[in-house]
Structure 1
Amino acid sequence: MNTELPELSVAQIWRYPVKSMGGERLEQAEVGRRGLVWDRGWAVRDEKIGVTRSARYIPRLLLCSARYLPGTSAGTVPHVEITLPDGSLVGSDDPGVHQRLSTAIGREVTLVSTGSLSGEAMSRQAPYETGDFETEMRMIFGLKDDEPLPDMQAMMKDVSRSDVFMQTFHDSFSINVLTTSSIRHLQNHVPSANLDVQRFRSNIIVDDGGECDFERELEWIGKRIAAGPAIFDVVAGCARCTIIAAAQQGGIARDLTITRTVVREMKQVMGIYCNVHQDGIIRTGDAVTVLNDDAAGA
């Protein structure tokens, strides 16, 4: 009996021009210190509280999608074209973009780029909407009162890399990786659910060859993986919030059974968070290799 695991390869590459909106599927992407170049280069700022917000707080952002406009410049990133929930288009260079976006999502927001805010303004946290940390976390992760909170220790230690964290719209880590074996594992528990990869908003989808049924990538935590010439430090598992169950652009329907199943069967974790160890251009079809180097403390 052959017990060897199948080869790994890059199946899909996704970049998200605007945080919490649908993204662009790419055949290749440049990886720099801050992750995929221009990933989460834009975000929306909630003008009522003066901070940038994700779909955890403004779910209708997920009903929009965005793409970069080649040959344009908004300073540190290109301009974007946004498809609103009704299918209409608006560009980031349109004087009416803020009003049209606010109307579409039902909240007064301003579209901002990484170059338009200071690091302090980008990382500033709003007061808890629910009043305290634990209640807020339960709301964000869709947890019941008797269910444990995810382990945030590994995730929070990355914030010490403030030179990266404070210059991007990532929540913490610059790269999210998900294997097809994890998707298959979840699908076996919720066979009727639509598990479109866009639900999980990962940058790199790794194909495991179709023969595995377990969360293979969790075995890589504390190690390094290579995708083509790029190398990543695998730091932590990705604790999934309610976004994975929300309605999204492209006809992806709301399905709360997905969140409940990830909590119950996968201890809230699906996919891995990584930091960039070595830059490079990754391409669909590139081999993915688990390296022997220990990434701990890197």
Structure 2
Amino acid sequence: MLGRISEAWRYPVKGMAGESLSACRVTDRGLQGDRLWAVRDSARNEIQSCKFRPGLLQIVAQYARARGAAGDHSVQLLMPDGARVSSDVPEVHELISRLLGHASRLEPLSAQTDMAAFKRYKADGHTWLDELKATFEREAGEPLPDFTDLPQDMVDYVSLPGSFFLVSPLHLLTTASLDYLRARQPQSDWDTQRFRPNLVIDTLGSEVGLIEQSWLGGRLQLGEAQLRCTAAAPRCGAVTRAQQALPADTRLLRTVVREADQNLGIYANTLQPGLLQVGDPVYLHT
């Protein structure tokens, strides 16, 4: 046993803060109800993430009903000023636009019937890549992720076509990695919400360091679900941004780049759907 699930998080709206769960079903598209909404920039006609619109992190999104992904998909948004607004009301678009400083619309995934809805905005042949690199907010001498051989879908689309996921439907993080980085930068708050995992695995002190990086290619059993660990998660400037309960802190990114080869956590895909609960044991099969 590697450890136990200590936290489960679902993000009803892409780029916004999400909701903590005690149990959730894993589907072929990740945690049930994850990223069923997104914000579209009206001028660019492009789905936005917190990479490009960090103000999204100031909004907490929760499903209006506890079951979330079945039946009623409407969401409630807790704004930075404490106001609550439903995805059903017409003024929600204006409130989001005002916060982000860009004309925007909140849209459900169910309304996207054409692959063009997921297209990346390109003013020309290179500006889009310059913009993407800038979101990683590297300082002089710090490495960037390797962009030399991007899959064509990542070149053409701002999210996985047909979804609001950037790279993969599941993101995993361990307490061992957070403890490792916290020890190297104890002045920072290493709250898991900064890193937007779906699942946090408590390694129970049995492992130290960036342990999940050694799981790549392996198969995890969590409750009824099985996942394939697919890739490391390089970190961008979003981890430094303020959220409602967390201040901005650029030291977090400097530490991840310096001490963790710029990666924190891993991505995963679903091999076997099923129910998982906080407290479930986690096993690795190679």
Q: What TM-score results when the alignment is normalised by the length of structure 2? A: 0.91
In 1: Cα distance, 2:31 partner to 2:152 partner: 21
**Is the Cα contact below 8 Å between 1:137 and 1:149 reproduced in 2?**
no
**Is the Cα contact below 8 Å between 1:228 and 1:287 reproduced in 2?**
yes
Unaligned stretches of 5+ residues in structure 2:
none
1:68–1:137: structure 2 CA closer, same or farther, 3 Å change rule?
Answer: same
Deviation readout 1:200-250 (Å, 9 max, x if unpaired)? 000000000035330110000011111111011111000111111110122
Q: Which residue among 244, 269, 279 is the counterpart of 2:239?
A: 244
- Give 1:117 shift: 1.3
- Give 1:138 shift: 3.2
- Give 1:253 shift: 0.5
Matched residue, 1:296: none
For 1:81-120, what aligned pairs fall within 5 Å after superposition? 81-120=76-115
Matched residue, 1:270: 264
Where 1:100 maps in the other structure, the secondary structure is: helix
- Give 1:154 shift: 9.4
Deviation readout 1:4-33 (Å, 9 max, x if unpaired)? xx7411000000011111101000011110
1:73–1:186: structure 2 CA closer, same or farther, 3 Å change rule?
Answer: closer
Q: Which residue among 37, 40, 44 is the counterpart of 2:39?
A: 44
Where 1:260 maps in the other structure, the secondary structure is: helix
Counterpart residue type for residue 284 of structure 2 = V
Deviation readout 1:94-153 (Å, 9 max, x if unpaired)? 121111221233221100010111351342101279954653343111123533321458
- Alignment of 1:179 onto 2:174: yes
Where 1:199 maps in the other structure, the secondary structure is: helix
Unaligned stretches of 5+ residues in structure 1:
1-5, 293-298
Matched residue, 1:66: 61
Counterpart residue type for residue 201 of structure 1 = R
Counterpart residue type for residue 44 of structure 1 = V
- Alignment of 1:194 onto 2:189: yes
In 1: Cα distance, 2:194 partner to 2:273 partner: 27
In 2: Cα distance, 1:263 partner to 1:277 partner: 31
Q: Which residue among 25, 30, 33 is the counterpart of 2:25?
A: 30
- Percent same amino acid among aligned pairs? 33
**Is the Cα contact below 8 Å between 2:33 and 2:68 reproduced in 1?**
no
In 1: Cα distance, 2:213 partner to 2:170 partner: 15
**Is the Cα contact below 8 Å between 1:72 and 1:79 reproduced in 2?**
no
Matched residue, 2:15: 20
Matched residue, 1:253: 247
| Larger displacement relative to structure 2 (260-269 or 176-185) | 260-269
1:71–1:36: structure 2 CA closer, same or farther, 3 Å change rule?
Answer: closer
- Alignment of 1:168 onto 2:166: no
Where 1:263 maps in the other structure, the secondary structure is: helix
Q: What TM-score results when the alignment is normalised by the length of structure 1? A: 0.87
In 2: Cα distance, 1:84 partner to 1:108 partner: 17
- Alignment of 1:123 onto 2:110: no
**Is the Cα contact below 8 Å between 2:33 and 2:69 reproduced in 1?**
no
In 1: Cα distance, 2:9 partner to 2:235 partner: 18
Counterpart residue type for residue 271 of structure 1 = G
**Is the Cα contact below 8 Å between 1:76 and 1:114 reproduced in 2?**
no
- Give 1:261 shift: 1.1
Counterpart residue type for residue 102 of structure 1 = S
In 1: Cα distance, 2:124 partner to 2:21 partner: 36
**Is the Cα contact below 8 Å between 1:156 and 1:172 reproduced in 2?**
no
- Give 1:199 shift: 0.2
Deviation readout 1:2-61 (Å, 9 max, x if unpaired)? xxxx74110000000111111010000111101011101111000011011111111111
**Is the Cα contact below 8 Å between 2:153 and 2:161 reproduced in 1?**
no
- Alignment of 1:286 onto 2:272: no
Counterpart residue type for residue 220 of structure 1 = W
